[in-house]
Each structure stands twice: as structure tokens, then as C-alpha cells.
Homo-oligomer: A and B are copies of this chain.
Amino acid sequence: MKWNGWGYNDSKFIFNKKGQAEFTGKRYRLGGMVLPTFKEWIEKTFGASLEHKTTSRASLNVNDVPPSIVNEEFLQDLRATKISYSQDAEDRVFRAHGHCLHEIFVLREGMFKRIPDIVVWPVCHEDVVKIVELACKHNLCIIPFGGGTSVSSALECPEEEKRTIVSLDTSQMLAESGFCTGHEPDSMEFSSLGGWVATRASGMKKNIYGNIEDLVIHIKMVTPRGIVEKNCQVPRMSTGPDIHHFIMGSEGTLGVVTEVTIKIRPLPEYQKYGSVVFPNFERGVACLREVAKQVKKSWMLASLKNTNFSTRRVLMVQCFWQLITKGFLSLQFKGFDPNILCVATLLFEGDREKVLQHEKQVYDIATKFGGLAAGEDNGQRGYMLTFVIAYLRDLGLDYYVIGESFETSVPWDRVLDLCRNVKERIVRECKEKGVQFAPLSTCRVTQTYDAGACVYFYFAFNYRGISDPIHVYEQIERAAREEILANGGSLSHHHGVGKLRKRWMKESISDVGLGMLRSVKEYVDPNNIFGNKNLL
């Protein structure tokens, strides 16, 4: 795994000797593929130049890393448990962050002021119980670590924390299985089941399988107050407020999720990708809404992504997609204006007959909204892209381009207004904050519900000439979030709150709502052992 970027060491975007962009390694279907026009795109879109390269440190300088301060009594108790642990700088730094832009930027350019003092690797529920007991005994701070893929500053250590910080890494606790859960967040290669529960995760196939709250049957959590769990593994119950919902979304503030019973299914008999091109974003959104209404909870329609070509510039993903499809979606695509057309990718899973039925149904609806079928290949590439897109930011960072995606959920009748207003706000804010080059500001619809949709925004700019690019970036992202909230969007559809979006919690769930969450925290963890300071 990379120490200062996304994913595996062998997998990354580079410019090869011919100056062409290329994705390295053999893990992904895109591995080894050359993207002949990418260089031109990044230059045009961001005003970036391959001659202006930033200088990221190639490896971690151990001398920069804050020392590990762990008292000997605790270490003695810990050794007695036989639980693996490490005080190495690399291990601690890896668990000091998620994948927010500012976190990765710090790794490339500086160092975190506070990181975990020690990493522990429990292998079972009982190990976690022992660690929590020791933390209570020695008054330590525990920060649970799943896969480290959060984009909410959830894993950042509070700078002012004086106690020893224990990073509790649950990666050794996952049992293998030969079935599928159907839960496929973009981070699925790296994130963890416990993390999905703690953050209320959502996956690309949620239209078939549901979000994490639809998949979970039973949760066991270890807290300083003791173990919390239900006494049965039933599909649904009414025994007061559902305590699973006290745990899901708690973001490591209450305890450690040690066991989850999750629905599994036989692998689908048949899969079919697809794609549709719409003349514009508005028609695409209207089509998705109609599909959500007609197909409702149909278990066939897995991923219905609407990728918007911004009117000003071509969306990063979309452009990339064009490149890899080698001009399939040529700019003259069936008479659509290339600057405003948009594309939906489709994936159907299930038994063959039903898949074909649903495929027909969706294409019939799409036709009514001016959509044109754009082939299975494009659909499949679009879907695969979800897994490599996270690698793209690292390439941008090499050339002064910083960027991030962020998401929201919104009722159907506000999708278009919200998308337009947020994109415009980003552009306006960039100008006001002195960004020299026009930014990339675009969005897509990634998940659909009967009552609304999840929308992702992509925002990136060239920061040459700006002395504190991360601060500027964060100010603009903050303004974008204000705009989202003002337009009836939520604080987060599935990324969660962490520390990054904490300031809006009261506004989002009301004073009393926040007080309810705090009252649970105070009861379960009165000494704030789980002191990551997320959420509350």
C-alpha cells in the first residue's frame, strides 16, 4: 500500500517516456493502458503543465514523525494479552489519516502534529474486550481503524490529546466467505465491514442489495460500558428504538464493532452492463427519477450512474472514459452536443430472464427521455473506473492540481437546482479566493431512491500562485457545503461527518437531536476513551 496516496504501490497513473498517461500494474483491467489524449486534457482543463511538477517526498522521513509515548505499565499488560502491536513510525503514520485531500497533502509536504502512539491488532472479539479494558484501566484514547479510506478526517488524531493514543486496527478480524454481500462501496478493496457499519456506508449496488443498514442483521460492539448487542438475529423487530441505529454512524466514538452478521447471497447467475447517452443532464436526471419510480425497489437495477458533462468543461471521469473507450463517444455522438450530453452506466444482476426483462424496461424508459443506448463496454468501463478514479488525484497532485469529490443526498425535485447552484458557487468562490485557473466543477448522480438521489461533486483546480492551497481549497469546499444545505441537500449521504463536517451537525439534526447523540456518548463512554472527537 502507498504511504502517501491511494491504494496499491504498483498501481498508479504516470506519464510515460512518450509523455502519455498510463495506468501501471496488472491488478486492474485498465493496467498498462495508454491514454493518448490525457496530457492534452489535463493541460487544457487545469492549465497544468508537465514541466511544473511538485516535489513530493519519496518516502517517510522517520525523524519527522512524533515520538511514540506509551507508558510501560500498559505495555506490560498488553504483552500479557499476546495481542500484536507496533510502535513503528510507518505503522503509526499509516493509521493517522484517511484520504481527505488535506491529509494526503500533509503526507506529501509535511507531517501530522499528532499520530497514534501505538497500533494494536486484535484478532477476535475477546482481544478487543481486553484492549478496551486496558484503555479504561490506564486511561488511554482508542481510535478504531478499519481500512483507512475515510474522507471525513475521522481518523485524524485530536492535536490536543495528551493521553496515549491507541490505533485499534480491526483488519485481522474479518472472516472470509465464498458468497457475496452485494455491498460495494468504491473503497471496497480497502475498507472494512466494521468501518461500513460505523460510518453508515453505501455501495454502488445498493439498488439491488441495499445500503449497510439494509444488509446488517446483527452487530456486536465493545464499549467502555460493556458489550452491546441484540439477543436474536431476526430480520426486523420492534423493541424500542433500534439499537443498531445507535451504532451505525457512530464513527468510532462509542466503541469497536467486533462482530457483524450480514446478509449474503449466492453470486449472481448473470450480469449485464449497459450505458445510455442523454442529450443533457436534465433529461438524464428526469429519466433516473422515472426509473426509480417505475422500477422501484427492483432488485435488478444495480448501479445507475449519471455522469454529467459540465457545460463549461468536460468532467474528469467522463473525459477519462472517453479516452479509454478510444473515441467511441466521439464528439459527434449521434448529433448530441458534446459539451452538454451526459451518460448513465448500468449494471443488471440476477437470473438471466429477469435481467433481460429489466434491461428492456430501463432502455424503454430511457428512450422516452431522449436517451440512446451506448453499449455494454462503456457501461463496464464506467463501472470499473469507480475503482481507479481514486488513483487519479495522486497524478494531479504531482502537477499542482488538487481536487476532491464530496457527496450529498437530495429530494428529486431539488436535484437540478442543487447541482447547478453548487457548481456555480464553486466557480464563483474560486474566483473570489484568487484561484488563477478556471476550476473543474461538475457532478454526477450515483445512487437513486424512490424519494431522491445521491449526488457527487467533483472539484479540482490548479493551485500554482497560491501560498496556502489547502486552506483555499477547504474554504471553497465549505462554501459548497453551505450551498448544498441551502438547497435542501444533506450533510452527507454516506461519507459521514468525522471532524470535517462536524460544524454543521447541530443544523442538520437539531439541537435536541445532537443532544440525544451526546447523551448516548456520555452514558457509554463517560471518560471519552473513544476520543477521536468525530461527530459530536
CB neighbours (8 Å) of A536 from chain B are 240
Q: A241-B245, A248-B242, A524-B516 are contacts. A489–B234 as well, Cβ < 8 Å?
A: yes
Which A residues from 499 to 536 make CB contacts under 8 A with B? 501, 505, 507-513, 515-520, 522-524, 535-536
Main secondary structure of the interface of A (DSSP, over half): loop
A347 → B minimal CB distance (Å): 16
Min CB–CB distance A498 → chain B (angstroms): 10
A167, B449: Cα distance in complex, Å = 38
Q: Is A394 an interface residue (CB 8 A)?
A: no
**How far in angstroms is the closest Cβ of chain B from A215?**
10
In the docked arrangement, what's the CA distance between A521 and B200, Å?
24
CA distance A357 to B452 in the complex (A): 28
What interface size band does chain A fall in? 35 or more
A164 located at the interface, meaning its Cβ lies under 8 Å from any Cβ of chain B in the complex: no
CB atoms of B200 and A238 under 8 A apart: yes
Question: A493 to B228, Cβ gap below 8 A?
Answer: no
Whether A239 pairs with B231 at a CB distance below 8 angstroms is no
The answer to the question of A26 belonging to the interface, with a C-beta cut-off of 8 Å to chain B, is: no
Which residues of A in the span 180-214 have a Cβ within 8 Å of any Cβ on B?
199-202, 210-211, 213
Bound-state CA distance A500–B281 (Å) is 55
> A223 near B: Cβ within 8 Å?
yes
CB < 8 Å neighbour of A491 from B239, B251, B490: B239
Q: Which of A436-479 contact B (CB under 8 A)?
A: 449-454
Contact A513 B229 (CB under 8 A): yes
Residues of A69-123 whose CB lies within 8 A of B: none
- Nearest-CB distance from A293 to chain B (Å)? 8
Number of copies: 2
A495 interface hit (Cβ, 8 Å): yes
Kindly report which residue of chain B lies nearest to residue A299, judged by CB atoms. Answer: B296
- Bound-state Cα–Cα, A495 to B236, Å: 12
Rounded to whole angstroms, the CA-CA distance of A480 and B34 in the bound complex is 68
Q: Determine if A280 is an interface residue (Cβ-Cβ < 8 Å).
A: no
A409 at interface by CB-CB < 8 Å: yes
Residue A317 interfacial (CB < 8 Å): no
Shortest beta-carbon distance from A303 to chain B in Å: 16
Q: Which residues of B contact A213 (CB under 8 A)?
A: 242
Q: Is A263 an interface residue (CB 8 A)?
A: yes
Cα distance, A173 to B298, chains bound together (Å):
34
Q: Is A496 interfacial (CB-CB < 8 Å)?
A: yes
B297, A235: Cβ atoms closer than 8 Å: no
Contact partner of A509 (CB less than 8 A), chosen from B230, B297, B488, is B230
- In addition to A232-B488, A236-B452, A246-B516, 7 A-B residue pairs with Cβ atoms within 8 Å of each other are A234-B408, A235-B409, A235-B452, A240-B536, A243-B517, A296-B299, A519-B519
